[in-house]
Structure 1
Amino acid sequence: MAGPWRAILWDRDADVHVEWRDASPLRLHGPPLRRADCNTPVLTEGGTILALPAHFTPIGHSYRRVGRPPFHFREAGAAIRILNDPDPRAGKWVESIWRAPDATLYGWYHCEAPAPCPQPTVTYRIGALRSRDDGVTWQDLGPVLTPRPDEIDCSFDNGWFSGGFGDFTVVPDRSGRFFLIHLTSYHADDSAQGIVVARYPIGDRDAPGGALDWWTDAGWQPRHRFPPQPLIRPRLGWRHASPDAHWGPAVHENLDIDQFVMLLNRTHDGERTLVQRGVAVSFNRDAGNPAGWTPPRTLIQGAIWYPQAIAPDGSDRRGGGSMRFFVSGFSAWDIRFRRGPPRQGTLPLPAAFDEGDLARVFGPRQPDGGFGS
């Protein structure tokens, strides 16, 4: 049974307040997964829900789960197959999907490949996929965003990676002309690090590599001409052992407030662990205008990686009303977004939970970072 709603944030810049309540426990993932290791794409159509949770062992890969909305899955899930994988040794986590008018399913993956560095580390890149059998098998459409040699730096000391672009969400803009990729830039140049946005025409979906622009100091420009201009910059960049930064944006269009909502991981003082210190939120009336995002504000203290708000109909890209709040595929909370300030006399306080709270609800923490038996 759901608990009472309470305000956890009032954002004057966006003229939006956020409310939160406890709810019955849910998981987007099923056996053999004990957690989801990235943003989980979710799509509901014709009374069927499709989700692609991912995991990192032995390398990054996604599973396909099908059921009925809101979140009732018929099966544990089976690993998807990339039929023409150009590099099977590199992990690939599918983070967003989109259905074309002809019913073809498109997807985008975060890829981690060995870096050209003396120490064992990786670089990140983003690629595109297409499926004609509803996500069971996929054709790789090639890279969308791959780091150049000058965008990689082997002196990075974060313990994970040496550059690249990843940890993202893809949403169409309101014009229906462009895919917008809100992503994390781990660029070798500190001034180009942070949350950035790229785009390419929806009409080029079968050949995505040639028409990519990103937001720069000079507006939308071809990727090869200018470095990206971060929408949200780190306080301490990704080359350091303990970055102080937001990362991993999950973006959806919220119908209640007629704005786009970006949920963000926040790390600091992690000492090569990228420990999660909280979840932040930013708002934008039109995601096609990258300059319109509000400063990120703390929504939840503590938590774990990969926050998402998913609508009751199962969409992770568009929705309203009482939505489910997930982290790493776990949910024990509802969230909703409302216009204007909270009711008079209400003092919004950020929500808070930690791994102990998750263990009490879902079962003990496991060595792989998941929860449950």
Structure 2
Amino acid sequence: MPQKIVLDTDPGVDDVLAILLALASPEVDLALVSIVFGNTHAPVAHKNLIKIYHQLAKEIAVVPGAEARYERLRGQEKTVLALGEDGPIGGEKAVAAYFHGPDGLSNISETHPHLTPPEIAHGEGHEHLEITSKPSYQAILDLLRKEPEDTVTIVALGPLTNLAHALRAEPETFQKVSRVVWMGGAFESPGNTSPVAEFNCFADPYAAAAILDATKAGKIELILAPLDITTPHAIPFYDLIHPSVVPIANETGKVPVKGEPTPLESFTSAMLVRVRGLQASFGLPDSMEMHDPVAVWFALAHASQKRGSAPAAGWRLKPREFLIERNGELTRGMCVVDRRGTGETGVDRSKDEKIKSQGLGKDELPEKDEGTGRMGETIEKTKNLPLVITHTPGAEVLREVLLSRVFGREF
């Protein structure tokens, strides 16, 4: 039976691919999409989700095999869509319009207005979505309250603001979650918003710190897909942008030969042309980094597993002790790892009276990969820490999974 998941998301160009991957995967049942600010403002992101479903409905109507791939949209309970927080718990609001454009989807609302569906009239329903007036955090709690414990996974693709509000409102209900998989943070990798911070962590470090604290208190299981693991997972733009839009040579120097673009191919190509140009201006490779799809991919691979289980074949997890800088002038959103090797975590020795009187102790937890053990076995832990994805089955495997499921490509 597919595991119910919540996508807490801020669509967002790579969010689009992650959402489509979830919808095209039989391992999971997308019960709720909860919208949060991030790549754009929350009301705009809410409209973007409806755009995705509009193009998906067109795809199913005209493309052979699409209905079978996206069976979640047929004859089942509708996915709930909830509008969530439009600003952080603390600190100034920031959105990633510098990368995703003013509408979050490379400004296609102006450059390709035909891709925008008509506004849904007040009181009018949606064919595939149950659009609720409840805020996202309440919709999350409603689902967790209704379902048995350890049967719902939350995949967070944006700032953790909605989750922090849900945790604060009903901590016991929130603890029923199987796991939270978050695309967020950076450790050895440089940041993608500031020199040291990944955007989702930067956008609401107070919320991220609240979820981290709950993890260390043993209340929830948090899996992180940081930039360290997501950045190397990239798909070439010649796989993602249809050659009728921009002809891009593949690794053999030839432009792929394809027929007319499908509705989904037209939609994603329109989004990614601007992104490709922006990445070229940064001197980056001619490929799209799959930040959010990696988090969804992890959830798919572990959909049948209970909380605390060892990772599936090809995946490795590493417990990490770190803190999140909430308000630094230069380091807001930084994942701060105490590298002194003394067992301290963020201790300022000049202010610690215990150290002044007793000196330093050493109570350090060795950081090791949790990649051993058989799938489904329980991980033995000596300390409650977030688990960071350090290995996956590989970028090429993700490429084939995403392109075959989302677009029906054959390999």
Q: Tell me the TM-score normalised to structure 2 length.
A: 0.28
Larger relative strand fraction: 1
Larger relative helix fraction: 2
Q: Tell me the TM-score normalised to structure 1 length.
A: 0.30
Bigger Rg, structure 1 or 2: 2
